Amino acid sequence: MQYLKSFDRNRSPTGLLVSVTEVQRRRRINSDYELSFMVPMTSDDYKEKIIPKGHVQDERGQFYVVQSRARDRSNKALTAQIVCTHIMFKMIDFKIPYDQYIDEAYGIHISTLLDKISAATGGVYTFVTHDTFDLRDVKDWGRTTALAALQDTVNLYGCEIEPDNFVIHLYKKIGSDKGFQYRLGKNIISDTFKDDSNSLVTRMYSQMKDGRTFIGLSTDNLTVEELSLLQSVPGSIQDGKIMVNYLISPYAQYWTNDVNAFYDGELIDQNIEDPVELLKATREALRKKEMPEFEIGVSAADIHKIDNEEEPAGLGDTVYAYDPDMEMTNISCRVMELTEYPFARDKHSQATLANYMLRDDTQVLADLERSKQVLNDLLSGGRVRASAFEEFAKQAVIDINNSKSEIIYDSRGIVLQDVDDHNIQVIQTSRGIIITEDGGATARTAITGRGIAAEVIAGVLGSFVSMEIGEGNNVTKINTNGISAGHADFNSAPFRLDMAGNLLANSLTANYANILSSHFQDGDIVGSSINIGSGRFTVSSAGYVYADGGFYTGGTVTGAIIRTADPGVYPRVEIDPSSIAFGVYSDENNGILIPAYDGGMSRIKFLANGNESAIYNSPTAGFNFVAYADARIVGAHIYLSSSQQVHIPSWSSLYSEGSYSSLQEELNAIWAAIAGKASANHTHSVTLPTHNHGNVANQNWGGTFQTSGSQ
């Protein structure tokens, strides 16, 4: 029998919740992580173990914080409904420090923001990214709680999160495709199926910061399919460049009709400044909208509760829905929301399946904290605070009163005269308009049929023939040729900008520029940053280089650390001139290291479970092979070749595994055998009886004979 576990506010265990019923867990991608249950108010569970802001742990080991207790009396039964939220949501109680606020920054890695959030929580919450996310431009980030900052980060980088208590995992897409099927006749108890084509888009327009688009971008950035679809629209592609700010869905022909050739939509993202990034975002937005959205609600039998070999569907998993009567023929979709009853065999999980990201009010939990402060400035006790508007209204009345003019009709025409200073006038005559500050004696600004005379012209100027500042060759001109400076002749001017947008300048200093495509010849790039391939190759203004992938041929890398993964991440290969000249690690305690001339010796270290063996060359001891424990040399033939001698401590050190004896023991045995033999020059007599070897034909012989001595 499994039970929920209770913990106090410091997560110290207080016992099992044996009296609770109707345990329900509701999870939604990037949204709800909620646990609720019922408990008798007369039970020890309620009286002693369940406390506000205390903790409850489910069978998955996840902690939830007790947030609310709703008490209910039904006849004589007193019960309470307990609602808990995942411990991840406690990040709402941490504020991002003011000095960590980001007003505006460019090319920021997701880890930068996550590290700031983790630091704001005192390191209580940590983050693990399992995918590579593109660098993003960040604006107005961190003026919130840690939870709201995490929500902003998730939205900015397009992440999906999977919390494991205080460790938050971030993926591009959580879940997996295990082939799980919701199927009528197998596990579907009831289901609903809704499709919605209100937001259908087959042609997606887009624009980025300052209203710019990807018009003029090379068609090399388009897929073959996108290029083919755009080429079907006259004028969309010219000279290898995109001339429109939209992409067309391959399903457009299916949905077209005599009213709508396309269903148009628009993406506006002020955080994007790179046309290539805008094109990618447009492509992604179109893919999400080019088919009708659908949502499936399934009540499914939890077969895994009675069959351990049956694996349940997980949040974010890609699953397949099959109910032909409901027009679901093995539709592929994702599990966006799960309501589970982990301790009840008689209750079945409820799943919401969809082909788009569900949205609901709970997703703005983090944003609510931010907007709450704004509302508090305007509302007090449910009433609108007039003081919030008084300053604005007061100033508006003052400005209106100050702008009042007297209207005078005289021989000059219609005169608008300032009520406080009668010398300030606007005179409308049949010949033009005069603005004067001396009662009409002179004109500060005049507009006549011949032109405009003014000390300063501010605003947007329309069509005109020519404008000149200066004289001779020390002149700046604006005319039908374009803009030129430094010479009276446009084609000889050292600075000129023609009507086609072509710019020539002897020198250029730009505090900020966005160059879509260019060719640099000679010269230096000083004090700037470089970003190529959406952050895959960057050079910061401080001169730091970041490269993600690539091929390098020739050249020299001096004084750099080269590693295949960050410190602490394994397996890893590392070259560090200051410490380990070369190292190959499978984990922290296993690998091969070549130190940089370690202790005056050339050395190769072999680590196994933290124990070290080494090969090194010492100026005094010579070449050494040192093993931590046993050492083996294995080969078909092993040769020892020395120009002088091969030294071993003793013959006892040479041991035969076949005879289980050392060379010393064998030598001792040989010497012992030799010692039992006769000494040199020994003789003795031998007596043989008379015999004929059993053959009567032989002569009988015998006698005593003397042996010869050993030679």
The least confident of 135-149, 287-301, 313-327 is: 287-301
Burial of 140-151, coded b for 16+ CB within 10 Å and e otherwise, reads ebbbbbbbbbbb
- What pLDDT, on the 0 to 100 scale, is given for residue 683? 74
Look at 710 and 199; give whichever has higher pLDDT.
199
> Comparing 159-173, 346-360, 553-567, 661-675, which segment has the lowest mean pLDDT?
346-360
* Whether pLDDT at 488 is above 50: yes
Tokens for 150, please give them: 């995490």
Tens digits of residue pLDDT in 575-589: 887 777 788 888 988
Which pLDDT score, from 0 to 100, does residue 477 have?
87
Q: What pLDDT band is residue 387 in, cutting at 50, 70 and 90?
A: low
Over residues 103-137, the pLDDT tens digits come to 888 889 999 999 999 999 999 999 999 999 988 88
Mean pLDDT for the chain overall:
83
User: How much is the pLDDT for 40?
Assistant: 92
> Taking 70 as the threshold, does the pLDDT of residue 430 lie above it?
yes
Three-state SS letters, 9-71? CCCCEEEEECCCEEEEEEEECCCCEEEEEEEECCCHHHHHHCCCCCEEECCCCCEEEEEEEEE
User: Could you write out the three-class secondary structure of 381-409?
Assistant: CCEECCHHHHHHHHHHHHHHHHCCEEEEE
pLDDT at 149 (0 to 100): 92
Considering 166-175, 207-216, 297-306, the range whose residues carry the highest mean pLDDT is: 166-175
Q: What is the dihedral of CA 47, 52, 54, 55, to 10 degrees?
A: 90
pLDDT reading at 403 higher than 80:
no
Q: Report the C-alpha gap between 485 and 478 in whole angstroms.
A: 9
What is the C-alpha separation between 442 and 425, in angstroms, rounded? 11
pLDDT (tens digit, 9 = 90+) per residue, 261-312?
888 999 988 878 889 989 999 998 888 888 888 888 888 888 888 888 888 8
Specify the 3-state DSSP secondary structure of 314: coil
pLDDT reported for residue 162: 92
pLDDT of 256 strictly over 50: yes
Q: What is the CA radius of gyration of the chain?
A: 44
Bridge partners (DSSP) of residue 321 are 182, 331
Residue 497 in this model has a pLDDT that exceeds 80: yes
* Top-ranked range on mean pLDDT: pick from 55-69, 469-483, 633-647: 55-69
Of the listed ranges 147-151, 390-394, 536-540, 663-667, the least confidently predicted one is: 390-394
pLDDT at 246 (0 to 100): 92
Highest mean pLDDT among 78-92, 182-196, 389-403, 667-681: 78-92
Cα separation, 703 vs 591, in Å, equals 82
User: Under a CB-based contact definition with an 8 Å cutoff, are residues 330 and 321 in contact?
Assistant: yes
Cβ contacts of 430 within 8 Å, gap of 6 or more:
413
Q: Residue type at 438? A: D
Q: Which helix (H) or strand (E) holds 458?
A: none
Residues 6+ apart with CB under 8 A from 8: 14, 51, 54, 55
Contact 588, 572 (CB under 8 A): no
Q: Are 358 and 347 in contact (CB under 8 A)?
A: no
Distances (CA, A) of 701 to 21, 692, 697, 698: 119, 7, 12, 9
Q: What percent of the chain is predicted at pLDDT more than 90?
A: 23
pLDDT at residue 675, as a whole number:
81
E strands, 611-700, where?
611-618, 622-626, 655-656, 661-662, 685-691
pLDDT of 361 higher than 50: no
Q: What is the pLDDT of residue 690?
A: 78
Closest alpha carbon to 279 in 216, 220, 206: 206
Mean pLDDT for the stretch of residues 422-432 = 86
Q: Indicate if the pLDDT at residue 456 is higher than 70.
A: yes
**Residue 706 pLDDT level (bands cut at 50, 70, 90):** confident
Name which of 201-205, 247-251, 410-414 the model is least confident about: 410-414
Looking at residue 129, what is its pLDDT? Answer: 94
Shortest CA distance to 366 belongs to which of 201, 129, 154? Answer: 154
pLDDT band at 372; cut points 50, 70, 90: very low
Distance CA 126, CA 666 (A): 66
Strands 495-498 and 482-485: antiparallel
Query: Which phi and psi angles does 517 have, rounded to 5°?
Result: -155, 145
Kindly state the average pLDDT of the residues 499-512: 80
Most confident by average pLDDT, 54-63, 356-365, 403-412: 54-63
Contacts of 579 (CB under 8 A, 6+ apart): 595, 596
Poorest-pLDDT segment among 57-71, 286-300, 333-347, 526-540: 526-540
3-state secondary structure 161-182: EEEECCEEEEECCCCCCCCCEE
- Mean pLDDT across the stretch 427-440? 87
Provide the pLDDT confidence category of residue 458 given band limits of 50, 70 and 90.
low
State the pLDDT confidence band at 460, using cuts at 50, 70 and 90: low
